[in-house]
Protein backbone atom coordinates (compact mmCIF):
# COMPACT_ATOMS: atom_id res chain seq x y z
CA UNK A 1 0.00 0.00 0.00
CA UNK A 2 1.36 3.42 -0.83
CA UNK A 3 1.13 6.42 1.47
CA UNK A 4 -1.56 7.90 -0.72
CA UNK A 5 -3.73 4.80 -0.37
CA UNK A 6 -3.23 4.62 3.37
CA UNK A 7 -4.32 8.23 3.66
CA UNK A 8 -7.31 7.71 1.39
CA UNK A 9 -10.26 8.11 3.77
CA UNK A 10 -12.59 6.22 1.44
CA UNK A 11 -10.24 3.24 1.27
CA UNK A 12 -10.02 3.17 5.06
CA UNK A 13 -13.81 2.91 5.18
CA UNK A 14 -13.87 0.24 2.45
CA UNK A 15 -11.34 -2.09 4.10
CA UNK A 16 -13.44 -2.01 7.27
CA UNK A 17 -15.83 -4.28 5.34
CA UNK A 18 -13.21 -7.01 4.88
CA UNK A 19 -14.27 -10.06 6.84
CA UNK A 20 -17.86 -8.93 7.19
CA UNK A 21 -20.60 -11.31 6.29
CA UNK A 22 -22.31 -11.02 2.92
CA UNK A 23 -24.78 -13.88 3.63
CA UNK A 24 -25.00 -15.84 6.83
CA UNK A 25 -26.25 -19.37 7.12
CA UNK A 26 -27.91 -19.37 3.73
CA UNK A 27 -29.76 -22.54 2.89
CA UNK A 28 -29.97 -24.08 -0.55
CA UNK A 29 -33.52 -23.96 -1.86
CA UNK A 30 -33.33 -27.58 -3.00
CA UNK A 31 -31.09 -30.42 -1.90
CA UNK A 32 -28.64 -31.68 -4.51
CA UNK A 33 -30.92 -33.53 -6.90
CA UNK A 34 -30.80 -35.56 -10.12
CA UNK A 35 -33.16 -33.25 -12.05
CA UNK A 36 -30.96 -30.17 -11.67
CA UNK A 37 -27.86 -32.27 -12.43
CA UNK A 38 -29.49 -33.58 -15.61
CA UNK A 39 -30.54 -30.11 -16.78
CA UNK A 40 -27.05 -28.77 -16.15
CA UNK A 41 -25.40 -31.66 -18.02
CA UNK A 42 -27.77 -31.21 -20.97
CA UNK A 43 -27.11 -27.46 -21.09
CA UNK A 44 -23.35 -28.06 -20.94
CA UNK A 45 -23.40 -31.02 -23.32
CA UNK A 46 -21.57 -33.01 -20.62
CA UNK A 47 -22.36 -36.72 -20.93
CA UNK A 48 -19.86 -37.93 -18.36
CA UNK A 49 -21.18 -41.14 -16.74
CA UNK A 50 -20.15 -40.01 -13.23
CA UNK A 51 -23.14 -37.65 -13.24
CA UNK A 52 -25.74 -40.39 -13.89
CA UNK A 53 -27.08 -43.48 -12.20
CA UNK A 54 -27.39 -44.61 -8.59
CA UNK A 55 -23.86 -43.48 -7.61
CA UNK A 56 -24.09 -40.14 -9.39
CA UNK A 57 -22.18 -37.11 -8.13
CA UNK A 58 -22.99 -33.54 -9.12
CA UNK A 59 -20.63 -31.83 -11.57
CA UNK A 60 -18.20 -29.89 -9.32
CA UNK A 61 -18.76 -26.72 -11.36
CA UNK A 62 -22.41 -26.73 -10.17
CA UNK A 63 -21.15 -25.59 -6.74
CA UNK A 64 -22.70 -22.13 -6.94
CA UNK A 65 -25.92 -23.39 -8.55
CA UNK A 66 -26.96 -25.05 -5.26
CA UNK A 67 -26.76 -21.68 -3.48
CA UNK A 68 -28.71 -19.59 -5.97
CA UNK A 69 -31.95 -17.98 -4.92
CA UNK A 70 -33.73 -18.16 -8.26
CA UNK A 71 -36.35 -15.60 -9.21
CA UNK A 72 -37.72 -15.33 -5.70
CA UNK A 73 -34.25 -14.68 -4.27
CA UNK A 74 -32.97 -15.21 -0.75
CA UNK A 75 -34.22 -13.24 2.22
CA UNK A 76 -31.26 -13.95 4.48
CA UNK A 77 -28.67 -11.66 2.92
CA UNK A 78 -26.77 -9.39 5.28
CA UNK A 79 -26.72 -5.67 4.69
CA UNK A 80 -22.91 -5.34 4.64
CA UNK A 81 -22.51 -6.06 0.94
CA UNK A 82 -25.26 -3.60 0.01
CA UNK A 83 -23.71 -0.99 2.34
CA UNK A 84 -20.29 -1.45 0.75
CA UNK A 85 -21.84 -1.19 -2.69
CA UNK A 86 -23.69 2.01 -1.72
CA UNK A 87 -20.48 3.49 -0.33
CA UNK A 88 -18.74 2.86 -3.65
CA UNK A 89 -21.71 4.25 -5.59
CA UNK A 90 -21.62 7.37 -3.45
CA UNK A 91 -17.92 7.88 -4.26
CA UNK A 92 -18.70 7.79 -7.98
CA UNK A 93 -17.77 4.14 -8.62
CA UNK A 94 -21.21 3.42 -10.01
CA UNK A 95 -20.34 0.91 -12.74
CA UNK A 96 -19.78 -2.74 -12.06
CA UNK A 97 -18.20 -5.58 -13.98
CA UNK A 98 -17.70 -9.16 -12.85
CA UNK A 99 -14.04 -9.93 -13.44
CA UNK A 100 -13.48 -13.58 -12.47
CA UNK A 101 -14.44 -16.46 -10.26
CA UNK A 102 -12.41 -19.25 -8.71
CA UNK A 103 -13.73 -22.46 -7.22
CA UNK A 104 -12.12 -25.10 -5.00
CA UNK A 105 -13.71 -28.50 -4.48
CA UNK A 106 -13.16 -30.41 -1.25
CA UNK A 107 -15.67 -33.21 -1.47
CA UNK A 108 -18.19 -34.42 -4.07
CA UNK A 109 -21.83 -33.42 -3.75
CA UNK A 110 -24.42 -36.18 -4.17
CA UNK A 111 -28.18 -36.22 -4.59
CA UNK A 112 -29.77 -35.78 -1.18
CA UNK A 113 -27.04 -33.48 0.20
CA UNK A 114 -28.61 -30.48 1.97
CA UNK A 115 -26.66 -27.32 1.19
CA UNK A 116 -25.82 -24.43 3.48
CA UNK A 117 -23.50 -21.56 2.71
CA UNK A 118 -21.90 -18.48 4.18
CA UNK A 119 -20.49 -15.61 2.19
CA UNK A 120 -17.92 -13.15 3.44
CA UNK A 121 -16.46 -9.99 1.91
CA UNK A 122 -12.92 -11.31 1.66
CA UNK A 123 -11.06 -8.28 0.36
CA UNK A 124 -11.42 -4.82 -1.09
CA UNK A 125 -8.47 -3.68 -3.18
CA UNK A 126 -6.82 -0.28 -3.05
CA UNK A 127 -7.91 2.02 -5.83
CA UNK A 128 -6.80 0.62 -9.19
CA UNK A 129 -6.88 2.10 -12.63
CA UNK A 130 -7.84 -0.28 -15.40
CA UNK A 131 -8.72 0.26 -19.03
CA UNK A 132 -12.39 0.40 -18.03
CA UNK A 133 -11.79 3.09 -15.45
CA UNK A 134 -10.66 3.61 -11.86
CA UNK A 135 -12.21 1.73 -8.98
CA UNK A 136 -11.91 -1.01 -6.37
CA UNK A 137 -11.98 -4.80 -6.75
CA UNK A 138 -14.29 -6.51 -4.26
CA UNK A 139 -13.79 -10.24 -3.64
CA UNK A 140 -16.49 -12.31 -1.98
CA UNK A 141 -15.84 -15.85 -0.77
CA UNK A 142 -18.68 -18.29 -0.35
CA UNK A 143 -18.14 -21.47 1.65
CA UNK A 144 -20.55 -24.19 0.56
CA UNK A 145 -21.30 -26.98 3.03
CA UNK A 146 -23.13 -30.28 2.82
CA UNK A 147 -24.31 -31.73 6.14
CA UNK A 148 -22.18 -29.10 7.83
CA UNK A 149 -19.00 -30.26 6.07
CA UNK A 150 -17.14 -27.86 3.78
CA UNK A 151 -17.66 -29.10 0.22
CA UNK A 152 -16.11 -26.23 -1.72
CA UNK A 153 -15.45 -22.53 -1.95
CA UNK A 154 -16.56 -20.08 -4.58
CA UNK A 155 -14.67 -16.78 -4.91
CA UNK A 156 -16.28 -14.07 -6.96
CA UNK A 157 -14.62 -10.77 -7.86
CA UNK A 158 -16.13 -7.59 -9.22
CA UNK A 159 -14.71 -4.22 -10.12
CA UNK A 160 -16.78 -1.23 -8.97
CA UNK A 161 -15.50 1.65 -11.02
CA UNK A 162 -16.00 5.11 -12.46
CA UNK A 163 -15.94 4.69 -16.24
CA UNK A 164 -12.92 6.25 -17.94
CA UNK A 165 -13.76 9.27 -20.05
CA UNK A 166 -13.83 8.24 -23.68
CA UNK A 167 -11.04 9.85 -25.66
CA UNK A 168 -12.37 12.55 -27.95
CA UNK A 169 -12.90 10.69 -31.18
CA UNK A 170 -12.28 12.00 -34.67
CA UNK A 171 -15.16 13.39 -36.66
CA UNK A 172 -17.38 10.74 -38.25
CA UNK A 173 -15.88 9.51 -41.48
CA UNK A 174 -12.31 10.30 -40.50
CA UNK A 175 -11.68 6.82 -39.16
CA UNK A 176 -8.55 6.34 -41.22
CA UNK A 177 -6.80 9.22 -39.49
CA UNK A 178 -6.67 7.28 -36.27
CA UNK A 179 -3.61 5.11 -35.66
CA UNK A 180 -4.56 1.53 -36.40
CA UNK A 181 -5.58 -0.30 -33.24
CA UNK A 182 -3.64 -3.43 -32.37
CA UNK A 183 -5.30 -6.80 -32.52
CA UNK A 184 -6.43 -8.11 -29.15
CA UNK A 185 -3.86 -10.21 -27.30
CA UNK A 186 -4.64 -13.86 -26.60
CA UNK A 187 -5.24 -14.74 -22.96
CA UNK A 188 -2.39 -17.10 -22.10
CA UNK A 189 -2.86 -19.15 -18.95
CA UNK A 190 -1.51 -22.36 -17.43
CA UNK A 191 -4.02 -24.43 -19.39
CA UNK A 192 -3.09 -23.13 -22.84
CA UNK A 193 0.49 -21.86 -22.47
CA UNK A 194 1.80 -24.89 -24.38
CA UNK A 195 -0.29 -23.99 -27.39
CA UNK A 196 1.24 -20.50 -27.58
CA UNK A 197 4.75 -21.90 -27.05
CA UNK A 198 4.03 -24.08 -30.07
CA UNK A 199 2.89 -21.10 -32.11
CA UNK A 200 6.11 -19.26 -31.20
CA UNK A 201 8.02 -22.24 -32.61
CA UNK A 202 5.74 -22.35 -35.70
CA UNK A 203 4.14 -25.59 -34.62
CA UNK A 204 0.38 -26.02 -34.30
CA UNK A 205 -0.01 -28.35 -31.32
CA UNK A 206 -3.19 -30.30 -30.61
CA UNK A 207 -3.75 -31.92 -27.22
CA UNK A 208 -4.14 -35.71 -27.11
CA UNK A 209 -5.55 -37.59 -24.13
CA UNK A 210 -2.99 -40.22 -23.17
CA UNK A 211 -5.72 -42.35 -21.58
CA UNK A 212 -8.10 -42.67 -24.54
CA UNK A 213 -6.13 -40.98 -27.39
CA UNK A 214 -8.91 -38.49 -28.16
CA UNK A 215 -7.59 -35.28 -29.72
CA UNK A 216 -8.95 -32.00 -28.44
CA UNK A 217 -8.87 -28.36 -29.41
CA UNK A 218 -8.95 -25.72 -27.98
CA UNK A 219 -6.67 -26.64 -25.10
CA UNK A 220 -8.39 -27.78 -21.91
CA UNK A 221 -7.17 -29.28 -18.65
CA UNK A 222 -9.13 -32.52 -19.03
CA UNK A 223 -10.52 -34.94 -21.59
CA UNK A 224 -14.24 -34.51 -22.33
CA UNK A 225 -14.47 -38.16 -23.42
CA UNK A 226 -12.97 -39.98 -20.44
CA UNK A 227 -12.21 -37.30 -17.84
CA UNK A 228 -8.46 -38.01 -17.75
CA UNK A 229 -6.20 -35.07 -17.07
CA UNK A 230 -3.15 -36.78 -18.63
CA UNK A 231 -2.23 -35.52 -22.07
CA UNK A 232 0.50 -35.01 -24.58
CA UNK A 233 0.48 -33.21 -27.91
CA UNK A 234 0.59 -33.99 -31.58
CA UNK A 235 1.76 -31.50 -34.15
CA UNK A 236 -0.85 -30.75 -36.81
CA UNK A 237 0.30 -31.41 -40.36
CA UNK A 238 -1.11 -28.03 -41.36
CA UNK A 239 -3.60 -29.41 -43.88
CA UNK A 240 -7.25 -28.61 -43.39
CA UNK A 241 -10.55 -27.65 -44.96
CA UNK A 242 -13.06 -24.89 -44.28
CA UNK A 243 -15.77 -26.61 -42.24
CA UNK A 244 -17.86 -23.45 -41.89
CA UNK A 245 -17.40 -19.69 -41.94
CA UNK A 246 -19.11 -16.38 -41.33
CA UNK A 247 -18.45 -13.00 -42.90
CA UNK A 248 -18.24 -10.26 -40.30
CA UNK A 249 -19.84 -6.95 -41.31
CA UNK A 250 -20.89 -5.56 -37.94
CA UNK A 251 -20.02 -4.68 -35.25
CA UNK A 252 -16.72 -3.24 -36.39
CA UNK A 253 -13.77 -3.55 -34.04
CA UNK A 254 -10.91 -1.05 -34.29
CA UNK A 255 -8.26 -3.66 -35.12
CA UNK A 256 -10.22 -5.19 -38.00
CA UNK A 257 -11.52 -3.92 -41.30
CA UNK A 258 -14.90 -5.47 -42.08
CA UNK A 259 -16.06 -7.28 -44.04
CA UNK A 260 -13.78 -10.23 -43.39
CA UNK A 261 -14.23 -13.98 -43.21
CA UNK A 262 -13.87 -15.97 -40.00
CA UNK A 263 -13.34 -19.63 -40.77
CA UNK A 264 -13.97 -22.75 -38.74
CA UNK A 265 -11.19 -24.92 -40.10
CA UNK A 266 -11.21 -28.68 -39.74
CA UNK A 267 -7.66 -29.93 -39.49
CA UNK A 268 -6.65 -33.16 -41.20
CA UNK A 269 -6.31 -34.62 -37.68
CA UNK A 270 -10.08 -34.05 -37.15
CA UNK A 271 -10.25 -31.19 -34.64
CA UNK A 272 -11.59 -27.78 -35.62
CA UNK A 273 -10.30 -24.32 -34.88
CA UNK A 274 -11.48 -20.78 -35.52
CA UNK A 275 -9.04 -18.69 -37.51
CA UNK A 276 -8.69 -16.39 -40.48
CA UNK A 277 -8.76 -17.67 -44.02
CA UNK A 278 -6.22 -15.65 -45.99
CA UNK A 279 -5.19 -15.45 -49.62
CA UNK A 280 -8.76 -15.25 -50.90
CA UNK A 281 -11.37 -12.44 -50.89
CA UNK A 282 -13.88 -12.71 -48.02
CA UNK A 283 -16.72 -13.47 -50.44
CA UNK A 284 -14.83 -16.33 -52.10
CA UNK A 285 -14.43 -18.46 -48.96
CA UNK A 286 -16.40 -21.69 -49.35
CA UNK A 287 -17.22 -24.70 -47.19
CA UNK A 288 -14.96 -27.58 -48.12
CA UNK A 289 -12.22 -25.31 -49.47
CA UNK A 290 -8.78 -26.81 -48.81
CA UNK A 291 -6.52 -24.62 -46.72
CA UNK A 292 -3.00 -24.86 -45.36
CA UNK A 293 -1.57 -23.56 -42.10
CA UNK A 294 0.79 -20.64 -42.02
CA UNK A 295 1.91 -18.26 -39.30
CA UNK A 296 0.97 -14.61 -39.62
CA UNK A 297 3.24 -12.05 -37.99
CA UNK A 298 0.63 -9.54 -36.75
CA UNK A 299 2.98 -7.14 -34.95
CA UNK A 300 6.27 -7.23 -33.06
CA UNK A 301 4.87 -9.40 -30.28
CA UNK A 302 2.02 -11.36 -31.82
CA UNK A 303 2.01 -14.24 -34.28
CA UNK A 304 -1.13 -16.20 -35.10
CA UNK A 305 -1.83 -19.44 -36.93
CA UNK A 306 -3.96 -18.69 -40.01
CA UNK A 307 -5.01 -20.72 -43.03
CA UNK A 308 -4.23 -19.95 -46.65
CA UNK A 309 -6.81 -20.94 -49.22
CA UNK A 310 -5.82 -23.28 -52.03
CA UNK A 311 -3.34 -24.87 -49.71
CA UNK A 312 -3.48 -28.49 -50.90
CA UNK A 313 -0.07 -29.86 -51.71
- Sites of contact with Zn ion (CB under 5 A): 209, 211-212, 214, 223, 225-226, 228
Question: CB of residue 211 vs Zn ion: minimum separation in angstroms?
Answer: 5
Question: CB of residue 232 vs Zn ion: minimum separation in angstroms?
Answer: 12
Instruction: Determine contact, residues 210/233, Cβ cutoff 8 Å.
Output: no
Say which residues have a Cβ less than 8 Å from residue 284's Cβ, sequence separation at least 6.
309
Question: CB of residue 226 vs Zn ion: minimum separation in angstroms?
Answer: 3
Nearer to Zn ion by Cβ, of 36 and 211: the residue is: 211
Question: CB of residue 217 vs Zn ion: minimum separation in angstroms?
Answer: 14
* Residue 116: closest CA among 60, 200, 32, 215: 32
Nearer to Zn ion by Cβ, of 134 and 214: the residue is: 214
Nearer to Zn ion by Cβ, of 182 and 229: the residue is: 229
Say which residues have a Cβ less than 8 Å from residue 158's Cβ, sequence separation at least 6.
96, 97, 98, 99, 137, 138
Nearer to Zn ion by Cβ, of 94 and 214: the residue is: 214
Question: CB of residue 223 vs Zn ion: minimum separation in angstroms?
Answer: 3
The partner residues of 142 in beta bridges, in order of sequence, read 119, 154
Output the CA angle 243-246-251, nearest 5 degrees: 155
Nearer to Zn ion by Cβ, of 201 and 212: the residue is: 212
Question: CB of residue 231 vs Zn ion: minimum separation in angstroms?
Answer: 8
Question: CB of residue 170 vs Zn ion: minimum separation in angstroms?
Answer: 52
Nearer to Zn ion by Cβ, of 125 and 214: the residue is: 214
Nearer to Zn ion by Cβ, of 223 and 265: the residue is: 223
Question: CB of residue 215 vs Zn ion: minimum separation in angstroms?
Answer: 10
Nearer to Zn ion by Cβ, of 222 and 279: the residue is: 222
Amino acid sequence: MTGTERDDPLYARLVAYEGRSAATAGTGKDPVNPAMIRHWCEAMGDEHPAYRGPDAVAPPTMLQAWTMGGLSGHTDRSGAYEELSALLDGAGYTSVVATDCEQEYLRPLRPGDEITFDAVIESVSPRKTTRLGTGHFVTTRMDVRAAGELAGTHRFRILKYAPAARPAGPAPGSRDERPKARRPRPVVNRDNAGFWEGVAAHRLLVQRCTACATLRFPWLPGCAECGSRAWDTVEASGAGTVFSYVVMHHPSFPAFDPPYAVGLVELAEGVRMVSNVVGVPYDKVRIGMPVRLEFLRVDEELELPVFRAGGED
